[in-house]
Structures are given as C-alpha cells and as structure tokens.
Amino acid sequence: MPDNAITLEQAGQIAYLRFQNPPRHTLTATMVGAMTKALGRLAVDTRVLVLRSATPGVFITHYEVGELSAAAERSAASQPPAAHAPSGTAETADTEQLHELHQLIVGLEQLDLITVAAIDGLAMGGGLELALGCDFRLLRDGTHVLGLPETTVGIIPGAGGTQRLTRLLGSARALDLILHAQLLRPSQALELGLVHRVFADADFERELGAFVDDLAARAPLALAAAKRAIRQGQDMPLRQALALEQREFQSVMGTEDARNAMAAYLKGRRPSFQGR
C-alpha cells in the first residue's frame, strides 16, 4: 500500500476521503484500518463526507483476493469442510464481533453527517459494498461496471452486500444480481435504483460539487435527524418507527436553526444554517 493510499482533505464543511492502491486498485485490510482512523480526524463542523478514488477511472475494483485466499486457507486448516455454515442463534448474531470492514461501513452509516460515494469508475465486490454504506451514490457515466461477483470465485459478498442490496432493491433482485454475479453498466445501475444519479463524464466534477454544496448548505441537525429516523426506522415495526420519528422531530423543533429558518420563511428570506 502506498504511503498516500488514504488521504483526508477538508474543504470548509465538506471533507474528501480519497484512496488509491495501484496497480490493481483493490481494497485491503490495511486500507480499511487507515480509513477508520481517518473518520476520527474529521473536523467537528464537517457536514458532508465524500468518498472517492484518487485514481481516475476506478473506484475500487474489489477486495484484495490475495487476502481472501489466505483467509480461505486458514479457514480450511482450522475446521473440517461442511455442506453449509451453521446459521447460529439470534443471541450469537447479537454478540458476534463484526470484522473491521463491517465496522467501517456501519460507522459510515452511523455518522450524523451525510456521506457520498463519488464513483467515477469500476466498483465491484468490497468496493461496491463500501459505497452501499454511504447515504448517496453518484456515478460517472461510461463503460465501467458495478456488481457483486463473489459467487464467481466460490464465496459470497462478505461486507454487507447480501444485506444492504436486499434492503435497497428487494430480495428477488438481490438474489438475481448476487447469484448470477451480474455486472451493471451505469444506466442499468440507475434504472434499478442502485445509484442515485448518473452524470455525464464531462459534467461529473461540476455536478458532484453542486450536489455536495447543496447538502452542506442545508440544516445539518435536521439532515442528521432525518438520516437517523430513516436508517434506524427501516428495521422497526411501523408504530415503533413512528415513535422514533416523533422523537427526532421534537429534537430539531427547538433548535436555533429551525426557529430562524421558519421565521425567515414567513418573511420571505433565505435561511442560513449554523448547526445550532
């Protein structure tokens, strides 16, 4: 991994987490650890975090297969082969330690700020799973592909792909995409709802900038509350989720930003949000 594999750049209230690992542009355990540490260095007033590659034409090709192969050998040596892995109990699932890539992606989801994956090239396997943990996925148009092709090499997505893709697209489409290891062009990814926007190659940087600037200008406490209500509420029964929404609504109603913005609206003025 190069010394500058992971860099964090602050541009006012927008932060850019950039990564690179030539020549294969894969994701490694060392990079995951460096990304996790970078999240801890975000400025306290950061409103938007953009994840993107430092290498044009590629996001992350996939997780480093060499590391996966070594893990497979260790697994085979430590236990006899089985027809299938035991599913375990609910108690086991609640207490089982998630691996570092899981922890990184869950950490992204739990950030109060808004996260954007700027995908300007190839994104497969662990690269796409990282993007799935972001609040928004913006894609540069072109001939590159996205997908979760792990079944091609005899494994399954292992960084949340089976779960987040199902929650995003439904079980029928997740089964089709994962079991057939389908790779999607940008237009197909947009049509399925895998990404939020596809921008023309020549317009990508300008459109990306406008997108994140718009988010950074909005009420950060309200965006954070809405994000929590949506992400946490999707796994709750409706009545419990409505109670969550009610608590988040009440939490932002008394903020200085909300009071000032509603007063500005009544006077026909444009509000400015201070995060208070």
Check residue 91 and give left, alpha or beta (phi > 0: left; psi -120 to 50: alpha).
alpha
> 3-class SS at 45?
coil
Terminal-to-terminal C-alpha distance of the chain? 41
- CA separation for the pair 25, 64 (Å, rounded): 9
Query: Which are the catalytic amino acids?
Result: 129, 150
Angle at 135 between CA 223 and CA 6, to 5 degrees: 115
Which secondary structure element, helix H or strand E, spans residue 14, and what is its range? strand 14-19
Strand, coil or helix: 29: helix
Q: Two tokens at 128?
A: 């796409």
